[in-house]
Structure formats: structure tokens, C-alpha cells
Amino acid sequence: MKLFYDKDDLPDAKRLRDKRLDWLIEVNALDIQQSHRDDMGFLFGYECGVEDLD
């Protein structure tokens, strides 16, 4: 089973100094855009509050 993240979430995570995506990359998670149709795994979905998007 593979672990995935969305690289488009990295700018928000870095701006908010959130290290969770850095950790995912360190444990060899793959960018979801590198996945294949038959890959099985877990997608870590990053969500920040609307007040953090200013």
C-alpha cells in the first residue's frame, strides 16, 4: 500500500509552517499525480481553515 499527498498543497503548508507534508515526503509518500489507476493507498488530504487563506 502506498501513501500519497497532493503537491499543490505544499505552498499553503509551508506558509503556515505546517510540517506534516514534509514528514510525508520524508517517509517516501508520492505525489498523487504520480499514481496509477491500479495503485492502492491512502491520500493525505491537506485542509487549512478559510481564515488561513488570506
pLDDT tens-place string over residues 15-42: 889 898 999 999 999 999 999 999 999 9
Report d(CA 48, CA 37) in Å as an integer. Answer: 28
pTM of the shown model: 0.75
Domain borders along the chain are 2-53
Report d(CA 54, CA 45) in Å as an integer. Answer: 20
Kindly give, in sequence order, each residue whose CB lies less than 8 Å from that of residue 8, ignoring residues fewer than 6 positions away. none
